[in-house]
Amino acid sequence: MLATPNSATSPAVVPSRRLLLVDDEPNILAALSRLLRRDRYEVFCAGSGAAGLDVLGQHCVDVIVSDQRMPGMLGVDFLRQARAICPDSIRIMLSGYTELQSVTAAVNEVAIFKFLTKPWDDAQLLGHIAEAFRIKEIADDNQRLHLELRSANHELAAANRKLEQLLLEKQEQISLDETALQGARDLMEHWPIALVGVDDSGMIAIDRVRADMLALFGELCQVLTP
């Protein structure tokens, strides 16, 4: 198993596009690696299906290109297990013309994006791999936006619940204040002495002078008046 970044980038730059190549022929892996060097992918190479699964156990890659006819594990069997490990990866298969019919039935099960025959056309291979990465990035963006939207909805729901609680508490406080005010009014109505309240501007705000007290006060004034 061999893992090789395909570009001489600065140590501070981390490649974001991960590609796994699986083929039992070292010269095929070398040729593919040279071809893909210019596109600045982070390329992992594996010489068998088992080695490819080991890579996926450590790195969840974006795109997988696998040969079909390999000793020990066929490409379709490798891709089936790879899908279970990295379900969001885009899978491409390399195969000979005589193998296409035998693997076509596995398209839906393994969700193979493209079949490419050996020997491949360089421009076609590069185009399909670039398209696979674009599809993967669109899917990642959609998933990210979905998670952000779900998080925003949860925050909005929490804010609404808090607002409803504040409104309920405010209504309860208003109800308590109204009850207390009514109680104070009832108390002043039956208070045995006169009450006069004046606000800051000098206006009478509270006036609870009983009529019999006013009459008594008037009689007293007449007696005291010479």
pLDDT along the chain (226 residues), means of 10: 47 67 94 88 93 93 92 91 92 76 69 85 91 88 78 79 83 80 67 57 55 55 62
The reply to whether 13 falls in a domain is yes
What count of other Cβ atoms lies within 10 Å of the Cβ of residue 217? 11
Nearest alpha carbon to residue 94 among 62, 124, 134: 124
Q: State how far the Cα of 162 lies from the Cα of 204, in Å rounded to an integer.
A: 41
| Cβ-based burial of 116 (10 A; exposed 0-12, middle 13-18, buried ≥19) | middle
Identify the CATH number of the domain in which residue 21 sits: 3.40.50.2300
The reply to whether 172 falls in a domain is no
Q: Are residues 45 and 124 in the same domain?
A: yes
Q: Are residues 87 and 15 in the same domain?
A: yes
Q: Are residues 20 and 106 in the same domain?
A: yes
Per-residue model confidence (pLDDT) at position 11: 45
Terminal Cα-to-Cα distance of the chain (whole angstroms): 125
Per-residue model confidence (pLDDT) at position 151: 78
The reply to whether 66 falls in a domain is yes
Q: Are residues 195 and 133 in the same domain?
A: no
Per-residue model confidence (pLDDT) at position 195: 55
Give the C-alpha distances (Å, rounded to integers) separating 35 from 30, 43, 125, 129. Answer: 9, 11, 9, 11
Last residue of a domain, one of 77, 104, 138: 138
Report the domain count for the chain: 2
Q: State how far the Cα of 117 lies from the Cα of 94, in Å rounded to an integer.
A: 6
59 contacts 45 by C-beta, under 8 angstroms = no
Whether the predicted model's global pTM rises above the 0.85 cut: no
The reply to whether 125 falls in a domain is yes
Per-residue model confidence (pLDDT) at position 226: 63
Q: State how far the Cα of 121 lies from the Cα of 31, in Å rounded to an integer.
A: 12
Q: Which range marks the domain in which residue 45 is found? A: 2-138
The reply to whether 153 falls in a domain is no
Q: Are residues 40 and 133 in the same domain?
A: yes
Per-residue model confidence (pLDDT) at position 7: 43
Q: Phi-psi category of 72—alpha, beta or left, where left has phi over 0 and alpha has psi -120 to 50?
A: left
Q: Are residues 200 and 132 in the same domain?
A: no
